[in-house]
Amino acid sequence: MDTVDAIPEQALAWHQSGEGAVLATVVQTWGSAPRRVGSQLAISGTGQIVGSVSGGCVEGAVIVEALEALETGELRELEFGVSDDDAFAVGLACGGTIRVLVEPVGAVMPELLLQDLVAARAARTPVAYVVDLDRSDRWLDHTGFQDRFRMDRSGFEPDSRVFVGIHNPPLRLVVVGAVHIAQALLPMARIAGYDPAVIDPREAFASAARFPDTQLLHDWPDEAVEKLGLDTRTALVLLTHDPKLDDPALEKALRSGCFYIGALGSTRTHAKRATRLSEAGFTKAEIGRIHAPIGLDIGAASPAEIAVSVIAQMTQVLRQGDRR
């Protein structure tokens, strides 16, 4: 699911304005399909669109079907083969097949359910939109499908007609310490899909000149992370080497749901850090959440290489869990 696109939000707005709206969702793919399972396209009753289910290959046909479904108030399941020529036009090596679920808002997808979905997304709460196609039943689930949430993987449950659409909040990276490693890390994080923020009360370090187009917070780190919030889609990286700056944010993080906590420093530095945290009342298990020395052990030396090791470790924890 492309969570950075406000597709359900736009569908709800069109429906509530009286235009009518349809949500089309890729529910299954075979071969090199242009868009992944869970990708969505919202269509208004006047033919406006937001999002994509095929990168342009079959959008026209989906829009026609969606407008007809809106008029009749019925669900439709569509299947399209993407030809080799069409696939090449959208940057693929070969064609594939996609199945698309078309749901008019109101007549098929209840407005209240869509409102709850939009509210969960606004609150950065991971939520699954579940459809049992055999029973024509729909609901939201916040607690099940943990593997799907971790992998951002929508799809049908095995041997069933139950489709699970995963709506995860966008990934965020919170960096404490506007140092040279952070300057290398942030561009990489953006490429990997993270929305980064930098915390450092030293304004000479955390400046727009050094970190262009980046959210900069000059508050004390514990206050800054409180403002930002640390949830299950947030990674926290501590780079200052200074306990006065790192520790306040670290203490907040250890009692939050953030999926990754990494701290720069040697094994000896981390041992001192662990002692301070233990004296502050943190358990061995809580302290064990910290990845320190930070990053995968790839022999990194330069700031850019360290940044690569950090991004790799963040990805490993996000997708596979903590393997230590």
Q: Are residues 157 and 196 in the same domain?
A: no
- Domain count of the fold of the chain: 2
What is the average pLDDT across 49-54? 90
Amino acid at 190: R
The answer to the question of residue 177 being in a domain is yes
**Residue 83's pLDDT band (boundaries 50, 70, 90)?**
low
The answer to the question of residue 2 being in a domain is no
Q: Are residues 148 and 276 in the same domain?
A: no
> What is the DSSP code (8-state) at residue 168?
P
The answer to the question of residue 1 being in a domain is no
Distance set, CA 258 to CA 1, 103, 123, 254, 298 (Å): 20, 34, 15, 8, 24
Q: Are residues 58 and 72 in the same domain?
A: yes
The answer to the question of residue 308 being in a domain is yes
The pLDDT of residue 3: 38
Q: Are residues 207 and 195 in the same domain?
A: yes
**Nearest by Cα to 87 from 36, 38, 32:** 32
Distance set, CA 293 to CA 86, 220, 263, 273, 275 (Å): 48, 23, 6, 11, 15
Half-sphere exposure of 248 (CA within 13 A, CB side): 16
**Residue 321's pLDDT band (boundaries 50, 70, 90)?**
confident
Among the residue ranges 15-19, 262-266, 319-323, the one predicted with the least confidence is 319-323
- CATH, residue 234: 3.40.50.720
Q: Are residues 49 and 161 in the same domain?
A: yes
Q: Are residues 116 and 213 in the same domain?
A: no
The pLDDT of residue 14: 98
Choice between 34 and 205, residue whose per-residue pLDDT is larger: 205
Which of residues 137, 167, 197 is at a domain's end? 167
- Residues 86 and 66: beta-carbon distance below 8 Å: no
pLDDT in tens, 153-201: 999 999 999 999 999 998 999 999 999 999 999 999 999 989 999 999 9
